[in-house]
């Protein structure tokens, strides 16, 4: 690892003479991101190699490569404004996911690497569903879609108002993060991936994830890969306290927001410290460090030891939280037929919009 960092530093130094200001900014981001990791346990992987190449089957490779490109849409151009591209909604008109190539490939990689680990895939914080769509497609090409599920968890109405003083209110104001549940079901359907193994879990995590946790325990299900993408401190505590224990040893936890959002990083670090988790943290794809990768990077670790989650602490902490302001979205786990109905509703709405005069 040391040699990898030295190599990286050497290439930074070589670039420094050409673009000193930019390189300084980039290096400080790497340093910052590395230092934020608990107990300095970070290893940095700058590899851009598409994980789909790990699949032996060429058709599967082509399919997943095309799917990732489609799901990603114009994300890179949208965040950089490259080519004068200005998304009308502030995010990206054409994207099904705000995860770029590196993050989407990491999902594929994680699912391949946990083939010997029992359990499903869960994305907590899904926006338009694209990352979970890539996960479901990967389960399918691996022939694992009958025994593994994909859980798609979100309020489908954006982020809550802060219920503790740890988070700011800015998240709740981001209207571009409100994507309706029927829209997400419709997106799965559009890719032909809304099948009986997809479970849409609706509601603020504080309410929906305890229900999901109970359901998974009751049905003896596990999570081989858990992907957190909840932006806020409180969202990450809800995710970890409810679902971390369900990851078997060998399973993978991904924190989409670590290295970028300090509140998310703090939640993760606190959780690890409280539970004595020392599994090595990997940083993958640090966006601003790499030309053309605007995914900002994430962290993940593989669970090497069973962890007994201090749920009593969580319940006590929960009791100190205030109530969310505004309407609280309904909490529900949709079965297959209900999800299909949602997708049909979205399709009907689209059809109605198409015939309305502009």
Ligand X SMILES: C[S@@+](CC[C@H](N)C(=O)[O-])C[C@H]1O[C@@H](n2cnc3c(N)ncnc32)[C@H](O)[C@@H]1O
Q: Which residues bind ligand X (CB under 6 A)?
A: 97-99, 123, 125-127, 130-131, 154-155, 158-160, 177, 204-205, 229-232, 235, 238
| Rounded least distance, CB 209 to ligand X, Å | 8
Cα–Cα distance, 175 to 74 (Å, whole number): 19
User: Whole-number minimum distance, CB 9 to ligand X, in Å?
Assistant: 31
Which of 68/283 has CB closer to ligand X? 68
| C-beta closer to ligand X: residue 130 or 287 | 130
Tell the smallest beta-carbon distance from residue 242 to ligand X (Å): 11
- Minimum CB distance to ligand X smaller for 29 or for 331: 331
Residue 152 belongs to what H/E stretch?
strand 150-154
* Nearer residue to ligand X within complex by CB, 57 or 168: 168
Smallest separation, CB 6 to ligand X (Å) = 33
Q: How far is the CB of 101 from ligand X (least distance, A)?
A: 12
Are 330 and 289 spatial neighbours (Cβ–Cβ below 8 Å)? no
**CB of 177: closest distance to ligand X in angstroms?**
5
Distances (CA, A) of 118 to 225, 242, 331: 10, 18, 27
Task: Extract the tokens encoding 334.
Answer: 């949709």
Residues 297 and 285: beta-carbon distance below 8 Å: yes
From residue 339, give the alpha-carbon distance in Å to each of 188, 190, 201. Answer: 10, 13, 10
Q: Given the complex with ligand X, which of 13 and 93 has the nearer CB atom?
A: 93
If the CB atoms of residues 157 and 279 are measured against ligand X, the closer one turns out to be 157
Exposure string (b/e) for 177-196, b if CB count within 10 Å is 16 or more? Answer: bbbebbbbbbbbbbbebbbe
* Exposure letters 338-347 (e unless 16+ CB within 10 A, then b): ebbebbebbe
User: H or E segment at 87?
Assistant: none
């Amino acid at each position: 690892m040391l040699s990898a960092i030295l190599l990286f530093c050497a290439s930074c130094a070589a670039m420094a003479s050409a673009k000193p200001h930019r390189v300084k900014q980039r290096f400080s981001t790497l340093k910052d991101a590395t230092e934020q990791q608990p107990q300095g346990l970070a290893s940095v992987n700058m590899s851009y190699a598409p994980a789909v190449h790990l699949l032996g089957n060429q058709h599967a490779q082509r399919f997943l490569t095309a799917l990732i490109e489609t799901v990603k849409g114009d994300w890179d151009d949208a965040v950089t404004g490259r080519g004068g591209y200005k998304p009308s909604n502030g995010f990206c008109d054409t994207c099904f996911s705000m995860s770029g190539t590196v993050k989407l490939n990491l999902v594929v990689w994680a699912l391949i690497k946990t083939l010997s680990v029992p359990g499903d895939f869960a994305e907590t914080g899904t926006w338009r569903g694209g990352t979970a769509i890539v996960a479901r497609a990967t389960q399918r090409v691996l022939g694992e879609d009958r025994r593994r599920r994909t859980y798609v968890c979100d309020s489908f109405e954006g982020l809550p108002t802060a219920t503790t003083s740890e988070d700011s209110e800015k998240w709740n104001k981001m209207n571009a993060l409100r994507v309706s549940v029927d829209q997400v079901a419709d997106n799965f359907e559009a890719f032909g991936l809304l099948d009986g193994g997809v479970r849409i879990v609706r509601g603020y995590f504080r309410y929906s994830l305890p229900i999901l946790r109970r359901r998974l325990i009751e049905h003896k299900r596990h999570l081989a890969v858990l992907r957190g993408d909840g932006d806020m401190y409180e969202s990450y505590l809800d995710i970890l306290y409810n679902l971390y224990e369900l990851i078997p040893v060998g399973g993978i936890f991904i924190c989409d927001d670590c290295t970028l959002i300090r509140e998310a990083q703090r939640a993760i670090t606190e959780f690890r410290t409280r539970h004595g988790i020392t599994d090595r943290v990997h940083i993958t794809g640090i966006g601003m460090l790499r030309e053309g990768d605007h995914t900002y990077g994430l962290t993940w670790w593989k669970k090497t030891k069973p962890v007994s989650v201090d749920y009593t602490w969580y319940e006590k902490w929960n009791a100190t939280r205030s109530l969310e302001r505004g309407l609280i979205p309904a909490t529900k786990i949709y079965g297959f037929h209900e999800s299909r109905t949602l997708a049909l509703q979205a399709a009907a709405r689209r059809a109605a919009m198409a015939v309305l005069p502009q």
